[in-house]
Structure 1
């Protein structure tokens, strides 16, 4: 009997060294074995990884160019796993992420898989199951978990399963054969282009709801920390490349008008909220159009197949993962609880701190820079946003409920 598939986790980072450290702490707590980690980052990012306890087990490559596709291809060159999983530097995976994300690949027909992404509050979903067409328009699809924990949507002409770059995995052989990511997409639509290429070659993509990643949308040269856009130039350029690669010529003008309308509406919403000024809206739209014109000139050459990995597989861990731990208490003991959680995390493995106040505050979940999961909120408040606005709980009852709620992705089945 063959063992589990080897997995390479590729993380690309630029201008976010502290976010990268946090991401790596989360990745280091994954239960799956065996996996390796490849980091492609600028100089500041690579320096930030140097004092991590597992730094000598990382594969690293430096890239100062602002091109996420080129960076991912550099990561693929280092990756020696049978599967390659991708996560962004401003994201953190649940400890069971790779266990669930890798499961569909037991079916040899599956070439790729994508999971669900939770947003800033750690509760609500940022993205779930979607299809994308050749104009770049996406459509949500309702799916269940499925008896095997995943679903493979049937092939449909002109449509592809939409995966997110911060939560997806592919067979290395398939990805290399397709030429990896297209460097013409310096940012945005790079994975969507790959989704359509997979579908065009008749390759199946699985949707894995329980493979969860928390994505924070950290600040970058293109957006502020509050997700307000700063520059749409590269978005416009990527749309030009995408539409001229995939969209029928008769539909391109209408598709581009839709993009412009959506971006303008997004900017106007920020204007109404006070986050932008009228001159900012004009500047953003000018950048979008300028980028589109620049994108039209980018190369449309076929992508050559990528070579075999340049280095052998280097697992991040040799030993099995320690069991997950729970720290829990009331708001009044918050400083002591945080200290307990930090000490437990320093010993290795996944730690979850539940801290409840006697309020109806909504709950939030985050992975702290100290390396532990923290859920805070009111004893009577909502965690799942579909819950009643106010519900009475005793502390022990609420704790049991929240452990059950996060038990599968956090690996807390025995707690």
Structure 2
């Protein structure tokens, strides 16, 4: 059972309790107000989680301020707030692991520090776990734009700022990997794969390794489990767009190599096919009907795919050169 019928104590609204630990990781004071909104959104859920972790990623000033704001008696309410410091050398993946190792819930849900969950987010995230074959669930981060969306920015690329993008299912359905801004996993399954890797592809890596270990299980996308993910103005610029397309895919090379047999490019290939066929076709039709921005979006889709391919090629070359140097160094040490 994910949600009990027993009312939680001390709550006049008698919200049901949920056997889930929620983890929010934070690294900067620049998001202080957004962090507060994220925390409030968890405390105001339609179900009551067992605990809420704030895992602070190598920022002593932020750690102390969180302890002042939510530590002690302030964090001892209906949903206990536990403030912890990243215990490892890495960043986001390590911060998630630090809290996940301490969590006691049957399920662990993750929310970004710049995302605010809808009141029924947790309840809807946990529903798919009623099927024992489901090991992880991805929620639906929708963009909370701070400035208007540029006309040239195609919705197929909303993954650039960590949001739902055209190409994901519109109903509950299996997916290859989740969006890290809003996701949940069975705690036992996460522990079985050794938690997260410490790189910036920790959520993708988690999904690949979960499915490799449990090939008959499923990861589901739940579009009704909505969070509002803040999009800073600088994430809607051309410079941010091209850098993300290139460098994210460059970084995937090392991430995939480290996964070994767990790696799978199915999701990436499907995205490329859909973006080219559907996205470009839609943009072209819009252009023919007088919408110039539709032509811009079609062009940007093609440019983005080219940048992604270039990034992956660059990363592959980089990996090959590095591997060759390591082999030579190893051979030299052996003969020496």
After superposition, the C-alpha distances for 1:171-229 in whole angstroms (9 at most, x for unaligned) are 1001101111122xx21x3212222222222221222121001111448xxxx454543
Q: Name the structure where helix makes up a greater proportion of residues.
A: 2
1:245 Cα shift? 3.2
Question: Which structure 1 residue ranges, 5 or more long, are not aligned?
Answer: 131-137, 145-150, 154-159, 263-268, 274-284, 299-415
Match of 1:199 in 2: 211
Match of 1:120 in 2: 144
Match of 2:39 in 1: 24
- Give the one of 289, 293, 296 matched to 2:318: 293
Q: What TM-score do the two structures reach when normalised by structure 1?
A: 0.49
| Separation of aligned partners in 1, 2:321 and 2:185 | 29
1:69 match: secondary structure = helix
Match of 2:253 in 1: 239
Change (3 A) 1:172 1:248: closer
Q: Cα RMSD (Å) of the superposition?
A: 4.4
- Give the one of 68, 72, 75 matched to 1:55: 75
After superposition, the C-alpha distances for 1:21-74 in whole angstroms (9 at most, x for unaligned) are 232122222121233111111223323322248434311111385521111111
| Separation of aligned partners in 2, 1:248 and 1:101 | 25
Matches within 5 A, 1:12-161: 12-15=25-28, 16-18=30-32, 19-41=34-56, 42-49=59-66, 50-52=68-70, 54-56=74-76, 57-63=80-86, 65=89, 67-121=91-145, 140-144=167-171, 151-153=172-174, 160-161=175-176
Question: Which structure 2 residue ranges, 5 or more long, are not aligned?
Answer: 5-16, 160-164, 277-295, 301-309, 324-336
Matches within 5 A, 1:209-288: 209-218=223-232, 224=234, 226=236, 228-229=239-240, 236-243=250-257, 245=259
Contact persistence 1:118–1:127 (CA under 8 A): no
| Separation of aligned partners in 2, 1:86 and 1:127 | 24
1:141 Cα shift? 4.8
| Separation of aligned partners in 2, 1:112 and 1:62 | 25
- Give the one of 199, 208, 218 matched to 2:222: 208
Q: What TM-score do the two structures reach when normalised by structure 2?
A: 0.59
| Separation of aligned partners in 2, 1:296 and 1:72 | 32
Match of 1:170 in 2: 185
| Separation of aligned partners in 2, 1:166 and 1:174 | 19
Change (3 A) 1:85 1:142: closer
Change (3 A) 1:36 1:233: same
Change (3 A) 1:92 1:234: same
Change (3 A) 1:36 1:248: closer
Aligned residues: 246
1:248 Cα shift? 10
1:193 match: secondary structure = helix
